[in-house]
Amino acid sequence: MKIIIDQDKCVASGQCVTAAVDVFDQRDEDGIVVLLNDNPPEDLAADVHQAAAVCPALAIVVED
Amino acid sequence: MTTPVYPMTRAEGCPFDPPPKLRELQDEAALVKVQVFDKTAWLVTRYADQRKLLADPRLSADVSTPGYPSQTAMAPKSDDGVGIGFILMDDPEHARLRRMVTAPFMIKRVEAMRPAVQKIVDGLIDDLLAGPKPVDLMEAFALPVPSLVICTLLGVPYADHDFFQQNSKQLISLTATPEERGQAHGNLGAYLYNLVGEKLENPGDDLLSGLTERVKAGELARQDAAGMGVLLLLAGHETTANMIALGTLALLEHPPQLAVLQETDDPKVVAGAVEELLRYLNITHNGRRRAVLEDIELDGQVIKAGEGLIFPNDIGNRDPSAFPDPDTLDLHRDARHHVAFGFGVHQCLGQPLARMELQVVYSTLYRRIPTLRRAAELDEIPFKHDGSVYGVHSLPVTW
Ligand code: HEM
């Protein structure tokens, strides 16, 4: 699994952190997404796909 | 066929369900022409299309873009030039301004506020239990919780709550005259303009004081700081208050669902329940509204530049292709993909805060007052058919 994030598109809704807290975090100054792990273990796959699905800015792409 | 008029009315005796006519239109077609205030616009009826289009940069949220389907005559700015923040702006200016206030709504910052919110909720329940009954839950609990929280976050004195609650309600009223709404906007705008002025002189440790740094640095006009204040103060209390009161009423009408919250200690169950109530009640029942900047094709049909779009997220959240058995309130379902906070770049900024407040309230109120019940017949309760945010004007309860 490979995750690509787009910080320019991100609107800091926090949805990805809620879905997969071990994979996504938010930048302290403005809440924009940061990736904690761009190739997380398989057991987090469902959470990561959930995060991508609920991102309102379509800023998360997951390649299996 | 005559063009249906939007918004539509809910069915008698079904205060939690969207208007049946809307659901019929959803069954019939993905795009439906409707009459709205002074023009026609396209209603985007289905969940998947709502998400797809709301995330499309060829749409504008600016009321002055040709084709924007206003719900009433509305002035985007008060007389003294205070707007209503970035909710009605397009990128890149929307993103520039939104990012000035995203930090306090980060998940970890909001989580750090949870103990303080729990304390507020517990204190208000202590007062309820010590006070007279029946009591209006809206006035005594549902409005104070988010108002206290947003006041602390913004740095607005809670003592002014009657003023800002009344003016906010007027500003989003669908039955107030344009003059009355303009007056309410003017009152809130002037109030926040002055408050920003005070914080320019004497900054504290709050969001509005943070914005004054931007004003001093020349990145933000004082009017625009005040406009963001109007948006955050309004959106920060009215919505969550309605979710608390309407959510409570919905749970009282569905005792097995109420029991789910009374019996659980699991924060995951509570969090899931909040998502389902957001989906089911979808209090922003007047549709997201946009104007089309460039031709867009949807399902073989071309939506032209200069036309208006309305996204009724209430029926998006009842679309059976996204939520099986959509009219059933089921706190155990996975509803996290709902569109109650909208979708696209304007998706609710305050959602982490709203979620946390609702989690605290729903996991506390019904456990501390297990015999809570309505103190009026359902048909005597005044629902907010007249507001662009749905809920109840008052909710008499006893225990
Ligand atoms: C349950 C409570 C809430 C609901 C259902 C809700 C719903 C919404 C919806 C549907 C939108 C999208 C508007 C659009 O696309 O046109 C929105 C935007 C917004 N909400 Fe909320 N909201 C809630 C609570 C809050 C809170 C607590 C705050 C702030 C403290 C807040 C601040 C905002 C702001 C600033 C925007 C504009 C975002 C933008 O344009 O980028 N909301 N909300």
**Contacting residues for B183 by C-beta, under 8 A, at least 6 apart:** B170
pLDDT tens-digit profile of B37-64? 889 999 999 999 999 999 999 999 999 9
Domains and CATH numbers, chain B: 20-398 (1.10.630.10)
Looking at ligand 1, which atom is closest to the CA of residue B282? Answer: 5
Q: Torsions phi, psi of B297, nearest 5?
A: -100, 130
Q: Which of B354, B350, B339, B372 is nearest to B261 (CA)?
A: B372
- Chain A residues with CB under 8 Å of B352 CB are 13-14, 18
Question: How many A from CA of B228 to the centre of ligand 1?
Answer: 12
**Contacting residues for B242 by C-beta, under 8 A, at least 6 apart:** B142, B283, B384, B389, B390, B391, B392
Q: Which of B315, B281, B378 is nearest to B7 (CA)?
A: B315
**Global confidence as pTM:** 0.97
Question: What is the predicted pLDDT for the residue at B205?
Answer: 95
Q: Give the gap in angstroms from C-alpha A2 to the nearest C-alpha of chain B.
A: 22
pLDDT tens-digit profile of B201-260? 999 999 999 999 999 999 999 999 999 999 999 999 999 999 999 999 999 999 999 999
What CATH architecture applies to the domain A2-63? 2-Layer Sandwich (3.30)
- Report whether B398 contacts B134 (CB < 8 A): yes
Contact between chains at A30 and B103 (C-beta distance less than 8 A): yes
Q: Which of B82, B25, B30 is nearest to B51 (CA)?
A: B30
Question: What is the predicted pLDDT for the residue at B29?
Answer: 95
Buried b (16+ CB within 10 A) or exposed e, A24-60: bbbeeebbbbebeeeebeeebeebbbbbbebbbbbbb
- Helix orientation angle between B107-130 and B144-154, rounded to the nearest 10 degrees: 140
Q: What amino acid is encoded at B50 in this protein?
A: Q
Looking at ligand 1, which atom is closest to the CA of residue B88? Answer: 40
- Report whether A14 contacts B106 (CB < 8 A): yes
- Report whether B117 contacts B230 (CB < 8 A): no
> Would you kindly state where each structural domain of chain A is located, as residue ranges?
2-63
- Report whether B18 contacts B314 (CB < 8 A): yes
Phi/psi-derived region of residue B218, left when phi > 0, alpha when psi is between -120 and 50, beta in every other case:
left
Q: For residue B78, give the 3-state DSSP assignment.
A: coil
Contact between chains at A19 and B336 (C-beta distance less than 8 A): yes
Question: What is the predicted pLDDT for the residue at B73?
Answer: 73
CB atoms within 10 A of CB B115: 10
Q: Give the gap in angstroms from C-alpha B186 to the nearest C-alpha of chain A.
A: 29
Q: Give the gap in angstroms from C-alpha A1 to the nearest C-alpha of chain B.
A: 22
pLDDT tens-digit profile of B281-335? 999 999 999 999 999 999 889 999 999 999 999 999 999 999 999 999 999 999 9
Buried b (16+ CB within 10 A) or exposed e, B71-106: beeeeebbeeebbbbbbbbbbeebbebbbbbbbbbb
- Mutation probe of ligand 1 site: the residue of B151, B208, B239, B286 with most atoms within 8 A of C-beta: B239
pLDDT tens-digit profile of B25-35? 999 999 999 99
Instruction: Flag whether pLDDT at A52 surpasses 80.
Output: yes
pLDDT tens-digit profile of B110-162? 999 999 999 999 999 999 999 999 999 999 999 999 999 999 999 999 999 99
Instruction: Tokens 């071990």: give the residue.
Output: A22
Question: How are strands ordered across the β-sheet holding B59-60?
Answer: B31-36, B39-44, B308-311, B288-292, B59-60
Question: How many A from CA of B351 to the centre of ligand 1?
Answer: 7
Most A CBs within 10 A among B339, B347, B353, B355, hence the mutation to make, goes to B347
